[in-house]
Amino acid sequence: MRKVRDYDAELKALNDKARSLKAKKVEQLGQLVTVTGADMLDLDVLAGALIAAVEAPDAETREAWRARGEAFFQQRRKKARA
């Protein structure tokens, strides 16, 4: 006889995992704000900058920001190794 699947338990486990991943994402975003020094900005300024980044219409601007962010993290890695 086949074992009956407990769909409720599986759904609960998936919800718990999703909640855990969301909490980890929020924690990492907070760490990012601190590491970049953005925690020194007023909340209104930080929110405005993030909104502008989300609403940036051209791919060139976003690509320039992405490259700058990548360079920032590569620089931090080099400093950490030294």
Q: Structural domain boundaries of the chain?
A: 1-40
15-52 pLDDT, tens digit per residue, is: 999 999 999 999 999 999 999 999 999 999 999 999 99
Amino acid 79: pLDDT = 79
Find tokens 């490259």 and name the residue: 67
- Cα angle 34-35-38, degrees, rounded to a multiple of 5: 50
Q: What angle do CA 70, 54, 45 make, to 5 degrees?
A: 90
Distance in angstroms between the alpha carbons of the first and the last residue of the chain: 61
What is the residue-wise DSSP string for 15-62? HHHHHHHHHHHHHHHHHHHHHTTGGGS-HHHHHHHHHHHHH---HHHH
- This prediction has a pTM of 0.72
